[in-house]
Amino acid sequence: MSVSAVDRTADSTDPVLFERGDSGVAVLTLNRPERMNAWGGGLAGAFYRCLDRAEADPDVRVIVLTGKGRAFCAGADMGDLDAIRGASESSGDTDVSQLVGERHPHFVTGMRKPLIAAINGACAGIGLTQALMCDVRFAAAGAKFTTAFSRRGLIAEYGISWILPRLAGWGAATDLLLSGRTFYAEEARELGLVKDVVAPEELMAHTLAYAEDIARNCAPSSLAVMKSQLYRDASRNLHDASAEAEKLMHESMRRPDFIEGITAFFEKRPPRFPPLKEETP
């Protein structure tokens, strides 16, 4: 990402920082390092506002999510949990929206642009759920992971019981959820939870290189449709998924992206795909 072309409009004290360079990649940084980027303190609302901004920006083709300091997101902010517990004891009703925010973590699976996590450190609880809902994950060597829920008297929150078995398999998901044990980035890679594990000082460069390659060479319309296919087809049978894919294939061949992709291939040059249109997919 070219420093000279980076758009930094967020204040350095904002709970989530937004940066956009000239490469087509926007970087969102969870910015509560003093709280290990715990989910609370206005972070959820700022996170979703930044996602909306990236989704609406035609110059953004890929989004990278990371954390500032020594954690990616260490789970729920315990201070916020104390406030919720107090409200629950007085009213008999727990308003979990105070913690998770106005949307659930699975919101990101419905976005049209790829979201890539650069897991720089501790990733626990709702922080792990958020990371798993991203489309691709990279991690720093030695980063610690845990579901933690069973050790806090909680349950498998906000869709992690849906996504974790699909990424790691039933047996591994059962182990990680029931035990709540801590595991490291290296095991996360073996389980298929992260694509690569790299030295901490190389994490962002490695992740950005991957994201920028997608932004340069992949059609935004293809990315949007394939993301939609992946998550919708997870609950479909093979026949229905194949039938839908055939319809989507015919639609893709009528878009200018298809002609540009084929032309660029034969002319042996990088493709010049147009920005994503509102109606796609």
User: What sign has the CA pseudo-torsion 194, 198, 201, 204?
Assistant: negative
Q: Is there a contact between 194 and 144 (Cβ–Cβ < 8 Å)?
A: no
Q: pTM for the whole thing? A: 0.84
Whole-number pLDDT of residue 6: 54
> Residue 86: what pLDDT?
52
Query: How are beta strands 136-140 and 115-119 bridged, if at all?
Result: parallel
Give the pLDDT band (50/70/90) at residue 4. Answer: very low
Which residues neighbour 113 within 8 Å (Cβ) at sequence distance 6 or greater? 54, 55, 60, 61, 62, 63, 220, 223, 224, 227, 276
Q: What residues does 124 pair with on adjacent strands? A: 146
Q: Nearest Cα to 124, choosing from 98, 143, 101? A: 143
pLDDT digits (tens, 9 = 90+) for 16-47: 999 998 899 999 999 999 999 988 768 888 99
Give 178-224 pLDDT, tens digit per residue. 999 999 999 999 999 999 999 999 999 999 999 999 999 999 998 99
Question: Which domains, from first to last, does the chain contain?
Answer: 16-216 (3.90.226.10), 218-267 (1.10.12)
Q: Crossing angle, helix 256-266 and helix 220-233, to 10 degrees?
A: 120
In the numeric block, the tokens 């954390």 are attached to: 67
If one compares 194 and 103, the residue with the highest pLDDT of the two is 194
Q: What is the DSSP string of the chain?
A: --GGG-EE-S-TTSSEEEEE-TTSEEEEEE--GGGTT-B-TTHHHHHHHHHHHHHH-TT--EEEEEESTTEEE-SB-HHHHHHHHHHHHHHS---THHHH-SS-GGGGGG-SS-EEEEE-SEEETHHHHHHHHSSEEEEETT-EEE--GGGGT--S-TTHHHHHHHHH-HHHHHHHHHH---EEHHHHHHTTS-SEEE-GGGHHHHHHHHHHHHHHHS-HHHHHHHHHHHHHHTTS-HHHHHHHHHHHHHHHTTSHHHHHHHHHHHTTS---PPPPPTT--
| Mean pLDDT in residue range 159-163 | 90
State CA 193 to chain mean position distance. 12
Average pLDDT, the chain: 85
Amino acid at 6: V
